[in-house]
């Protein structure tokens, strides 16, 4: 239905439609997550806050502004992909019956794995000393990220991040519905990685399957300490290459149980008052 809708509208309307969908998805996912964690459940979930301080209003505004510029670049890439599809340049197909629903599900999983691999190695590239200041530093200005940082990239990094979709479309027969599902998975996991709270259960990393999924603690540590925990969705590459921070599992357990913050508060009754003084609501 989405493809048929695009066929019926002109160039400017197509761009507006793509932009509207992307902006709405970002606003909903990041906005709802921010409201739940930083407003509604702020006090109740305080023990699960990964960093003791809260980000400033200025930092949050910067995250939103850079994310909006990133969405503009994503829109441009999405539109170019649409044109390429119309000229049969990519492997994007529109008839689900051509490969069936089973293949559509498999293609979603394959695309997610491709993205995870693409992200890990481009992320490592962006951390090279001669690349980082020009490409990736903007994202790392969020030392204490919020959900709004999900797409907070310098334009050059945004282009790198968006380019995974053409890569998938050229490598893999894929339906637009599958691409939409992958994009929705992407924003969900990006928001979770930048949540600032650890909401997963404490025993997750001891589970034989769940331990391979990255956590909010995993990516938050990357923002704090920079040189490790490079993975996006899964922990495959970090484990294989040895780039997990050594204390990752310990920090995850502390954040998931809230032990570290409770000990801090019990040892210093004035912590609550001091933090409120330092924190500025966005």
Q: What pLDDT does residue 263 have?
A: 57
Task: Name the pLDDT band for 17 (thresholds 50, 70, 90).
Answer: confident
Q: How confident is the model at residue 32 (pLDDT cuts 50, 70, 90)?
A: very high
- Residue 277 confidence (pLDDT): 38
**In contact, 114 and 179? CB cutoff 8 Å:** no
191 occurs within a structural domain: yes
Q: Report pLDDT for 264.
A: 56
Pick 263 or 29 by higher pLDDT.
Answer: 29
Is there a domain that residue 209 lies in?
no
For the four alpha carbons of 221, 223, 227 and 231, in that order, the dihedral sign comes to positive
Mean pLDDT of 152-172: 96
Determine the average pLDDT of the residues in 56-77: 95
Position 280 confidence tier, pLDDT thresholds 50, 70, 90: very low
Token output for 249: 């599992």
**Least confident range of 71-80, 116-125, 148-157:** 71-80
pLDDT score at 105? 98
38: in domain: yes
Q: Over 60: is that where the pLDDT of 273 sits?
A: no
User: How large is the average pLDDT for residues 179-194?
Assistant: 96
What gap in Å lies between CA 47 and CA 99, rounded to an integer? 48
Handedness of CA 179, 183, 188, 190 (dihedral sign): positive
Average pLDDT over the chain, rounded to whole? 89
With respect to residue 269, please indicate whether it lies within any of the assigned structural domains.
no
Q: What is the mean pLDDT of residues 243-269?
A: 78
Write out the residue range of the structural domain in which residue 183 sits: 2-196
- Is residue 51 domain-resident? yes
Q: What is the pLDDT of residue 260?
A: 61
pLDDT the model gives residue 182: 96
pLDDT above 80 (res 148): yes
Q: Does residue 3 have a pLDDT over 70? A: no
pLDDT at position 83 is: 83
Residue 245 within any structural domain of the chain: no
Residue 267 has pLDDT above 70, yes or no: no
Look at the chain and report how many structural domains it folds into.
Answer: 1
Q: For residue 259, is pLDDT > 80?
A: no
Integer CA distances (angstroms), 273 to 262, 265, 276, 279, in order? 15, 11, 5, 10
First-to-final CA distance of the chain? 38
Domain membership of residue 106 (yes or no) is yes
CA angle 113–136–166, rounded 5-degree value: 40
Question: Is residue 18 domain-resident?
Answer: yes
Reply yes or no on whether the pLDDT at 9 is more than 70.
no
Q: Which of 222, 152, 220, 221 is nearest to 187 (CA)?
A: 152
């Amino acid at each position: 239905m989405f493809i048929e809708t695009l066929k019926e509208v002109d160039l400017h309307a197509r761009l507006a439609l793509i932009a509207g969908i992307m902006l709405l998805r970002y606003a909903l996912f990041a906005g709802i997550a921010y409201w739940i964690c930083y407003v509604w459940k702020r006090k109740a979930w305080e023990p699960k806050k990964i960093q003791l301080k809260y980000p400033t209003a200025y930092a949050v505004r910067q995250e939103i502004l850079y994310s909006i510029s990133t969405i503009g670049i994503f829109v441009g890439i999405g539109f170019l992909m649409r044109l390429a599809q119309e000229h049969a340049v990519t492997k994007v197909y529109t008839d689900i019956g051509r490969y069936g629903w089973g293949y559509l599900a498999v293609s979603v999983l394959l695309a997610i794995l491709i993205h995870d691999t693409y992200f890990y190695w481009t992320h490592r590239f962006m951390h090279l000393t001669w690349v980082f200041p020009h490409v990736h530093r903007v994202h790392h200005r969020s030392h204490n990220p919020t959900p709004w940082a999900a797409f907070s990239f310098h334009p050059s990094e945004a282009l790198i991040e968006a380019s995974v979709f053409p890569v998938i479309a050229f490598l893999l027969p894929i339906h637009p519905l599958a691409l939409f599902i992958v994009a929705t998975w992407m924003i969900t996991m990006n928001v979770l990685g930048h949540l600032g709270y650890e909401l997963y259960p404490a025993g997750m990393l001891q589970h034989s399957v769940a331990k391979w999924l990255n956590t909010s603690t995993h990516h938050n540590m990357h923002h704090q300490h920079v040189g490790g925990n490079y993975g996006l969705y899964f922990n495959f590459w970090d484990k294989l290459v040895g780039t997990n921070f050594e204390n990752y599992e310990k920090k995850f357990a502390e954040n998931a149980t809230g032990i570290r913050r409770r000990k801090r508060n019990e040892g210093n009754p004035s912590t609550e008052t001091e933090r409120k003084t330092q924190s500025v609501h966005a």
